[in-house]
Amino acid sequence: MAGSIRRRGANTWELTVDFGRDPVTGRRQRRFESFNGTKKAAQQRLTELLSTRDRGIDIQPTKVTLAEYLARWLTDYAAVSVAPSTLARYRIAIDKHISAHLGSRLLAELRPMDIQRLHSMCLGEKLSPRTVVQHHRIVREALKHAVLWQLIPTNAADAVSPPRFERAELAVLDAPGVLKLLRRAEGSFLHPMVFLAVHTGARSGEILALRWSDIDFEGRSLHIVRTVQRIAGEGIIFRPTKTARSRRTIGLSAATLDFLSARRQEDESTRTRRAEADGERLVFPQEHSGPYEPVQISHAFSKLVSGSEFEGLRFHDLRHTAATLMLSQNVHPKIVSERLGHASVHITLDTYSHVLPHLQDEAAAAMDRILDPARYVQQADGTDGKTAPHTYDRGQC
């Protein structure tokens, strides 16, 4: 017998799923579940249980709560699979909001309406829609592993749409604005970092982790292989960039090479030699030779632009500025994506869509230059005697 339904009362049913006979004892193995609802809904639930059984997942209800599971997921998966800073964000979101609202719910009984309720409660606490979307992604990722680990048959978060939010408009500078900013930064310890950020599009943590050995002056390139982060309980650490695509080689312009060469000469003339190899020295160290941390640069940059036309601009916006300038000069989005270290070109196109209308206009103008309507008509009918018309078979297109 595959499964059965037995009425126990008004809109109350007992569902039975048969697992066959135990190969050792010969006894029939069955699982039972009580269900409240209509008979049609009970039949649908039985179908789900049978499908779960056929996929080899234990359908015996577990007493593990969502909070207990999330704690285990953080330890067994997240702690060894994501960056320390990402793990810290996961812990805050789970402890302060997700487990606080849904932690007592049994993992096996979690339903889409519970996830929807989490959204409503977080929005009611004045969390931004963007933050609620981030919480939704954490829950969905955690439940995805619960499905893979055969703890639950389906991911309840897949059936819920997170709230929509409008992305903040990117703050970017045009070329004259970049030159004004660089002049304002002259004399500040930030000046070389600002210069490199707008010329390469590198992240602040990547710039602060640069060593002289990462710069290939002969090959005219810079290698991004690590970043700087502050981790609670560990202090400032160096770690590999967050994805394989983030580990990249960036071609350097002549102006950037000259700037870095002058920077290195200054570094060698003003700093005392230490035991480590010269190439292992940081390009942008603090006075005690240790690294700055990104938050220091963010705060210092905010002070630099305070009271100026650039007030409100963040250091990270220099990365957006670099990308926008490259795209506006018709640099191929794939190349821009590689220089930025994006996981895919789709991220680049989505993030910098504000530049795309300009690129569309350029593409249309380019086609006009290539296929001038008047010249094309003359050539197509052969009237000028110089260009024979060419036709394409549809199978070639």
For residue 344, the domain's CATH number is 1.10.443.10
Of 153-167, 193-207, 343-357, 365-379, where does mean pLDDT reach its minimum? 365-379
**Does the model's pTM come out above 0.75?**
no
Residues 8 and 74 in one domain: no
For the record, the structure tokens of 208 come out as 């602060």
Q: Note down the domain range covering 119.
A: 66-149
To the nearest 10°, the Cα dihedral for 355, 361, 365, 366? 40
* Residues 325 and 180 grouped into a single domain: yes
Q: What angle do helix axes 191-200 and 175-185 make, rounded to 10 degrees?
A: 160
For 199-262, the DSSP string reads HH---HHHHHT-BGGGEETTTTEEEE-EEEEEETTTEEEEEE-SSTTTSEEEE--HHHHHHHHH
pLDDT at res. 396: 41
Mean per-residue pLDDT for 3-9?
88
Q: Examine residue 168 and state whether it is found in any structural domain, yes or no.
A: no
Q: Final residue of a domain: which of 83, 115, 149?
A: 149
Residue 391 lies in a domain: no
Domain limit, last residue, from 112, 132, 149 = 149
User: Chain-wide mean pLDDT for the chain?
Assistant: 85
CATH of the domain at 140: 1.10.150.130
Residue 375 counted as domain residue = no
Higher pLDDT, 302 or 271: 302
- If one counts the domains in the chain, the total is 3
Which tokens belong to 165?
A: 């939010």
Burial of 71 (0-12, 13-18, 19+ CB in 10 A): middle
In a domain, 186, yes or no: yes
Beta bridge partners of 20: none
Do 70 and 45 sit in the same domain of this protein? no
Q: Do 13 and 48 belong together in one domain?
A: yes
The model's confidence at residue 388, banded by pLDDT at 50, 70 and 90, is very low
- Identify which of 172, 88, 163 has the alpha carbon closest to the alpha carbon of residue 119: 163
